[in-house]
Amino acid sequence: MQNREGMLVLFSGPSGVGKDTVLDIILSKDDYLQRSVSLTTREKRSGEIDGEDYYFITKDEFLKMVKDGQVLEYAQYGENIYGTPKAPVDKWLKEGKTVILKIEVKGAQKIRELYPEALSIFLLPPSMQILEDRIRGRGTEDEQDIKRRLEIAKNEILRSADYDFVVINDNIDEASNNVLNIIKALNFTYKRMNKKISEVIKNV
């Protein structure tokens, strides 16, 4: 694709809505997309891989990284802290990659303040009942955690108004295509094409 410049994409949506599946699909379709691997203090779920799904670290390690300026943003979610490591994001943006942050709503707000041009997409479940069924079906959280995640979900959905785009995950392939199309379209805004336009008319 022409005119690649680094771009940040904030990808949010309640727990269980299918963010990881959408990310897996779109990452396999576009080489310029780069997924940021977050830091978390939560326990690893079965099947998750350290360094791929998250960097699983202790609270002390997390706080030390924050103190040393190595964390771009972080937020408390339920009992745990989640955050974005700074160095890889800086590097990928310099390389012209489109960096996707899977991030909850408070962290997304901090990134908007740091990078006002970041694109933001919110993935919405078709209904709260379907969301609850999906979280239960996953079988990775206990009852208390499920209740907490559903409560947070309601508040997160209310914050979807802060996002540029909202995509409903009714059908995973359709939702993934919609997310990818939105990201691709953003490469062709006038602002991002400005340099190319100047080149085209340079010798006229």
Residues near ligand 5GP (CB under 6 A):
15, 38, 42, 73, 75, 77, 82-84, 102-104, 107
Q: 95 with 79: CB under 8 angstroms?
A: no
Rg (CA), the chain: 18
Q: Nearest 5 degrees, angle CA 177-CA 104-CA 150?
A: 95
Q: How far is the CB of 193 from ligand 5GP (least distance, A)?
A: 31
CB atoms within 10 A of CB 135: 22
CA distance 48 to 61: 20
Q: How far is the CB of 130 from ligand 5GP (least distance, A)?
A: 17
Take residue 122 and report the two structure tokens written for it. 């919110």
Decide whether 75 or 93 has the Cβ nearer to ligand 5GP. 75
CA distance 101 to 111: 10
Decide whether 38 or 160 has the Cβ nearer to ligand 5GP. 38
Residue nearest to ligand 5GP (CB): 107
Helix (H, G, I), strand (E, B) or coil at 140: coil
Decide whether 7 or 65 has the Cβ nearer to ligand 5GP. 65
Q: How far is the CB of 158 from ligand 5GP (least distance, A)?
A: 14
Q: How far is the CB of 58 from ligand 5GP (least distance, A)?
A: 16
Decide whether 50 or 199 has the Cβ nearer to ligand 5GP. 50
